[in-house]
Amino acid sequence: MTAVDSQVSVSRPLARAATLRDIAAAYIGLMKPRVIELLLLTTVPVMFYAQRGVPPLGLVVATVLGGTLSAGSANALNCVYDRDIDEQMRRTRRRALPRHMVSPRAALVFGLGLAVLSTVVLGLFVNWLSAGLALAASAFYLFVYTMVLKRRTTQNIVWGGLAGCFPALIGWTAVTGELAWPPVVLFLVVFLWTPPHTWALAMRYREDYAAVDVPMLPVLRSGEEVAKQIVAYSWVMVAVSLALWPVADTGAVYPVAAVVLGAAFLVEAHLMWHRARSSDDLSVIKPMRLFHWSNMYLSLLFVAVALDPLLTR
C-alpha cells in the first residue's frame, strides 16, 4: 500500500464519522437546545421550592429528561411546519430542514417519536398529571401558536407564549402530584415575560419577519410603540412576580431578589423606550440589550425560587 493509499484509507472513516456527527447535530438542532435550556430553568427551581428543599435526584432526572423530550418534540414539529419561512430568514436558514440535512418526513417522525417517548417517561417515572401537562403544552405550541396564531396576528407571541409557561406547573406537579397557586403565579410571570423578551428579538429581525409575512408586532408598529408595550408588560410582570411572596409565604431571599431584578428590568425597558422615542433606528434602540437582560432576569429570578427554601429553612 502506498502512502497515498494509506492516507485515503484513513480519511474515509474520518469523513464518514464527520457525516454521522453532522446528522446527529442536525437532529439535535431540530430540538432547539437553547430554548429547552430556558424551559428547564423554570422547571427545576420550582421542584426545589415545591419540595422545600432538595428533591430526589431520580425524580429530577426523570422530569428533566421527559421535559427535554417533550419540548424537543414541539420544537421539531414546529421546524417541520415552518420550514418554508425558515429557509428565507437569516436567523433560521441554517437549521437542519432549510439546509436539507434532514427530510421533512424524517423530522416529522422524529418529533412524533419524541412526543410519545416523553409522555411515557413522565407518566411512568414522574406522574401522569405532569405527563398530561407536558403533552398539552406541546400540542398548544404546535396547533395553536405555530399553525394558527403565528402567521395571522400581532398577538401571536402573547397567547402562543402560554406553551412556554407550562414548565412551572410541571415542576410543581412532579413533586406534589397536584396543582396549587404558587406555580400559577410563576406561570403568569413567564407569560408576562415572554412578550418583552420575544418582541426585543423580533425588533432585531423585523426585516426577516416582514419578508415572510409573519405579523410580529415590531413589523407592523414603530419601535416606540413596541417599546411602550414592552414597558407596560414589564411593570405587570414585576408586580406579579412579587405576588409569590404572600401567595407562597416565601422567605426573604425571593422577594429581595424579585425587587432588585425587577427594578433592573424596568430600568432597562424604560431606557429602551427612551431611545426608541428619539429614533426608529435599531442601532439606536439596541433591542438586544433588553433581550439578553431578559434571559438573565428570568434565570436569576428562578434561581432565587430554588434558593429561598434552602436558605430560609
Query: Could you report the per-residue pLDDT of 198-238, keeping only the tens digit for each?
Result: 999 999 999 999 999 999 999 999 999 999 999 999 999 99
Q: Is the pLDDT of residue 8 over 80?
A: no
- Residue ending a domain, among 177, 210, 235, is 177
Determine the straight-line distance between the first and last CA of the chain, rounded to whole angstroms. 72
CATH number of the domain residue 38 falls in: 1.10.357.140
Q: pLDDT band at 23, cuts 50/70/90?
A: confident
115, 261: one domain: no
Which residue's entry shows cell 400581532?
Answer: 154
Answer yes or no: is 10 within a domain. no
Rg (CA), the chain: 21
Helices and strands in the chain, H and E counts:
16, 0
171, 34: one domain: yes
Q: Mean of the per-residue pLDDT values for the chain?
A: 92
Q: pLDDT band at 3, cuts 50/70/90?
A: very low
195, 98: one domain: no
What pLDDT was estimated at residue 10?
Answer: 42
Beta carbons within 8 Å of 237's beta carbon, 6+ residues apart = 189, 192, 193, 196, 262, 265
65, 205: one domain: no
Query: Could you report the per-residue pLDDT of 31-61, keeping only the tens digit for each?
Result: 999 888 888 899 999 999 999 999 999 999 9
Answer yes or no: is 110 within a domain. yes
Query: Could you report the per-residue pLDDT of 183-200, keeping only the tens digit for each?
Result: 999 999 999 999 999 999
CATH number of the domain residue 279 falls in: 1.20.120
What whole-number distance in Å separates Cα of residue 148 and Cα of residue 144?
Answer: 5
What pLDDT was estimated at residue 13?
Answer: 44
In terms of phi and psi (left: phi > 0; alpha: psi -120 to 50; beta: otherwise), the region of 52 is left
The count of structural domains within the chain is 2
What pLDDT was estimated at residue 313?
Answer: 65
253, 210: one domain: yes
pTM of the model: 0.91
164, 200: one domain: no
219, 260: one domain: yes
What pLDDT was estimated at residue 42?
Answer: 94
80, 210: one domain: no
Answer yes or no: is 2 within a domain. no
Answer yes or no: is 1 within a domain. no
172, 194: one domain: no
96, 203: one domain: no
Q: Is the pLDDT of residue 139 over 50?
A: yes
What whole-number distance in Å separates Cα of residue 49 and Cα of residue 302?
Answer: 10
Q: Is the pLDDT of residue 1 over 60?
A: no
Mean pLDDT of 263-281: 97
Answer yes or no: is 22 within a domain. yes
Cβ–Cβ under 8 Å, residues 31 and 80: no
Answer yes or no: is 252 within a domain. yes
Print burial letters for 113-137: b (CB count within 10 Å at least 16), e (below 16). ebbebbbebbbebbbebbbebbbeb
What pLDDT was estimated at residue 19?
Answer: 79
What whole-number distance in Å separates Cα of residue 59 and Cα of residue 204?
Answer: 39
C-beta contacts of 251-255 below 8 A and 24+ residues apart: 251/308, 251/309, 251/311, 251/312, 252/312, 253/304, 253/307, 253/308, 253/311, 253/312, 254/304, 254/305, 254/308
124, 203: one domain: no
**CA distances (Å), 143 to each of 106, 139, 148, in order?**
20, 6, 7
147, 215: one domain: no
Residue-number span of the structural domain to which 230 is assigned: 180-313
